[in-house]
Homo-oligomer: A and B are copies of this chain.
């Protein structure tokens, strides 16, 4: 079973990140730790209406706030 078939990305998935705070449009967030294929932690949000995937900057304060709110189970 190849890594690829396991859905493991063999490179970074994010080229650029969304700068505008889009917290209320986010349906879910995927956190991908740095690994042998990508030196950066990547955060990929799926948007509610379109299902579109958008990369977020792990260093951006608003991103950290969105993640904390999700974890603390507060409706945004």
Measured CB to CB, the residues of A under 8 A from B are 6-8, 26-35, 40-41, 46, 48, 50-51, 58, 64, 67, 69-71, 73, 75-76
Contacts and interface: CB of A to CB of B under 8 A. Distances in A.
Contact of A31 (B6, B41, B58, B71): B71
B41 A71 contact: yes
Contacts of A46: 7
Contacts of A51: 6-8
Contact of A33 (B33, B41, B70): B70
A30 B33 contact: no
A75 B35 CA distance: 8
Contacts of A70: 31-33, 41
